[in-house]
Amino acid sequence: MMDQLSINRAFERGLTIGNASVIRCFNQNGQVIEQSYEDFAKEVKQLILGLQKSGLKPGQLVGTLALSHLEHFQLMWAVPMAGGIFHPVNHHLSAEDVRYIINHAGDQFLCLDKSMLNKVTSILSDRASIKIYCFDEVADHMSVSDLKKLGSFEKLDNLPRIADENATAVLCYTSGTSGRPKGVAYSHRALTLHMLTEAAVDGYGINRSDHVLLMVPFCHGAGWGVPYSAFMCGADISLLHGTLPRQEIIDILVNHRITFTGAVPEIISDISKGLIDNSYNLSELRILMGGSPTSPSTIHALQKAGITSLLCWGMTETLSAATIKRILPDSDAKPGPGLPLPLTEFWLGEEFGNSRELLVRGPCVIEHYYGQDSSARVDGWFPTGDLATLSVEGSLHIHKRKKDLIKSGGEWISPMALEDEINKISSIKECVVVGIPDPKWGERPVLVTLTEQNITIADINSILSNTGFFEKWQLPDEMFNWESLPRTLKGKFDRHLIRLTIIESYLREKNGI
């Protein structure tokens, strides 16, 4: 039988070369828990045996509802290495969405923080057979520590072998911004190839000398794959147990010589504000950002601290990042998704205005959604719903989600093209352009901004016209200045809510809609 690609082999490699590295967890109370790779592996193996003795069968799902702490990280490895499927659920979701996801996935085990128990009350009444384990000590419930004790009575010399590399190792769900969340299964093969990609020079370049800070929740594409690749490479690994203040995160970056971390741009933007007017030297630090566009002001603040920005584009369906772009501290390069990562291919499909729908394929790209027989691909390609262009050398530029385009008088208007230019205006902090119904033109663009200075829609449209990029009919009709712009759980602007709010407060009054 051919050697199978599995995360078990990645774990063994990390354990072998990471003998001088540590895994630490920073708690909200200031406590720091630290483990060597050897001690971490010992408890992972106890969990493997404990899960198997508790009845976990190959292919069964272990759901988790928890923050990113040490035991959660141990379970992240133990479940798939025991032959099960690790299924981290987004704890920010409503109880109803959590219930839907756990029932849709068919989790047989559920491991959760004590604070999450209130979100699974209805599940426990619906499915009495589900086995509950708490990361904390809770009356009337077994704990994850009990699983370790159960697995400590015998020694696991060799990790279980995975017979089929195409077996599912991890299951993550999409955010559900356009309907019910959908499950995306990651096989042992896909995860292994993604780890190798992240370790490549043309990827994130994660290696044994790195000090990695994990800030992406595991439920988001299994933490963008970094928890797995960092361990495989034998790097020092740090976790944040809960939300820490900006300055505490900066102190961790500085005092623990962090060389790699990642998060959505909104979180990095907040951290960058704490770097301004300070003499921090973070010249060894690389920060990965994805999920939404990164502003030039954030890039500039990071550059002043000597930080290299890694910008990416990706989806749950592509096992997180599918592109990479490096912006060095002395670079004047503009933000953008960059080039495809190794093993990922792009193609442009149906035309919408001046761009086309982005299609993607590769060994880490979804073939079908969990629980669905029909293929998610069309002629071998996955349609992303993003509208894009590709440069001659293959660099990707995302214009907008197909569903976010505005069709006015039969012609397409790109909100992102407008936003890119409006964000260059110094008095504009943030902006969103959305389309609202219009009785004459079908839809018209309106602008929602965050600004502290007195600027009018006429001022903005004059600036836009002078760029030479836009015709008069493409410019926003109205401008609304809000105190804050709502975001989704992934940190992206909630365009659907923004649009509904404007329709409710403006259109009903103006047009009787």
- In terms of Cα–Cα distance, which of 490, 495, 388 is closest to 172? 490
109 and 174 housed in the same domain:
yes
In a domain, 392, yes or no: yes
- Where would I find the H helices in 106-199? 121-126, 144-151, 188-199
- What pairing do the DSSP bridges indicate for beta strands 85-88 and 382-390? unpaired
Q: Looking at residue 277, what is its pLDDT?
A: 76
152 and 61 housed in the same domain:
yes
374 and 424 housed in the same domain:
no
Q: Looking at residue 460, what is its pLDDT?
A: 95
387 and 466 housed in the same domain:
no
Query: What is the domain count for the chain?
Result: 3
In a domain, 425, yes or no: yes
* pLDDT at 463 > cutoff 80: yes
Structural domain range at position 393:
339-402
* pLDDT at 278 > cutoff 70: yes
φ, ψ of residue 183 to 5 degrees: the values are: -85, 135
Q: Looking at residue 43, what is its pLDDT?
A: 97
- Residue with the larger pLDDT of the pair 3 and 338: 338
Residue at 49: amino acid letter:
L
* pLDDT at 310 > cutoff 60: yes
30 and 105 housed in the same domain:
yes
In a domain, 295, yes or no: no
* pLDDT at 194 > cutoff 70: yes
* pLDDT at 442 > cutoff 90: no
Are 278 and 253 in contact by the 8 Å Cβ rule? The answer is no
First to last CA, the chain: 66
Note the pLDDT tens digit of each residue in 360-370. 999 999 999 99
Note the pLDDT tens digit of each residue in 119-170. 888 887 778 889 999 999 888 889 999 999 999 988 888 888 899 999 999 9
Among 165, 198, 231, residue at a domain's last position: 198
Strand order in the sheet with 236-241: 32-36, 22-27, 236-241, 211-214, 260-263, 286-289, 308-311, 323-327, 339-340
What's the average model confidence in pLDDT over 61-82?
Answer: 98
95 and 82 housed in the same domain:
yes
- In terms of Cα–Cα distance, which of 263, 267, 302, 260 is closest to 284? 260
Q: How confident is the model at residue 111 (pLDDT cuts 50, 70, 90)?
A: very high
Are 396 and 339 in contact by the 8 Å Cβ rule? The answer is yes
What's the average model confidence in pLDDT over 67-86?
Answer: 98
193 and 63 housed in the same domain:
yes
- In terms of Cα–Cα distance, which of 168, 212, 164 is closest to 80? 168
What's the average model confidence in pLDDT over 426-437?
Answer: 90
Q: Looking at residue 433, what is its pLDDT?
A: 94
In a domain, 165, yes or no: yes
How many angstroms separate the CA atoms of 497 and 216, rounded? 24
* pLDDT at 511 > cutoff 60: no
Could you list the beta-strand ranges (E) of 300-427.
308-311, 314-315, 320-321, 323-327, 339-340, 345-352, 355-361, 382-390, 396-401, 406-408, 411-413
- Residue with the larger pLDDT of the pair 342 and 295: 342
How many angstroms separate the CA atoms of 221 and 69, rounded? 17
Q: Looking at residue 149, what is its pLDDT?
A: 95
Q: Looking at residue 417, what is its pLDDT?
A: 82
Token readout for 363 is 């060994």
415 and 394 housed in the same domain:
no
419 and 495 housed in the same domain:
yes
In a domain, 155, yes or no: yes
Q: How confident is the model at residue 508 (pLDDT cuts 50, 70, 90)?
A: low
76 and 150 housed in the same domain:
yes
In a domain, 333, yes or no: no
Among 385, 402, 419, residue at a domain's last position: 402
In a domain, 128, yes or no: yes
356 and 482 housed in the same domain:
no
Note the pLDDT tens digit of each residue in 408-430. 877 778 888 899 899 889 889 88
* pLDDT at 300 > cutoff 90: yes
* pLDDT at 79 > cutoff 70: yes
CATH number, domain at 389? 2.30.38.10
What's the average model confidence in pLDDT over 320-331?
Answer: 96
Q: How confident is the model at residue 193 (pLDDT cuts 50, 70, 90)?
A: very high
What's the average model confidence in pLDDT over 230-236?
Answer: 98
Average pLDDT of the chain is 91
Note the pLDDT tens digit of each residue in 489-499. 767 788 888 98
- Residue with the larger pLDDT of the pair 288 and 93: 288
- In terms of Cα–Cα distance, which of 380, 463, 466 is closest to 425? 463
Residue at 459: amino acid letter:
D
Out of 63-72, 161-170, 466-475, which region has the weakest mean confidence (pLDDT)? 466-475
Q: Looking at residue 266, what is its pLDDT?
A: 81
* pLDDT at 239 > cutoff 80: yes
In a domain, 250, yes or no: no
How many angstroms separate the CA atoms of 22 and 34, rounded? 7
Q: ∠ at Cα 68 (276, 362), nearest 5°?
A: 90
Q: Looking at residue 178, what is its pLDDT?
A: 53
CATH number, domain at 182? 3.40.50.12780
390 and 410 housed in the same domain:
no
* pLDDT at 513 > cutoff 80: no
HSE (side-chain half, CA atoms, 13 Å) at 152: 9
Among 402, 433, 454, residue at a domain's last position: 402
Q: How confident is the model at residue 176 (pLDDT cuts 50, 70, 90)?
A: low
Within 8 A by CB and 6+ apart from 440, the residues are none
Single pTM value for the model: 0.83
- Where would I find the H helices in 106-204? 121-126, 144-151, 188-199
CATH number, domain at 452? 3.30.300.30
* pLDDT at 500 > cutoff 60: yes
High-pLDDT (> 70) share of the chain, %: 96
Q: How confident is the model at residue 197 (pLDDT cuts 50, 70, 90)?
A: very high
Q: Looking at residue 503, what is its pLDDT?
A: 84
CB burial string 220-244: b at 16+ within 10 A, e below: bbbbbbbbbbbbbbbbbbbbbbeeb
Out of 10-14, 123-127, 156-160, 325-329, which region has the weakest mean confidence (pLDDT)? 123-127
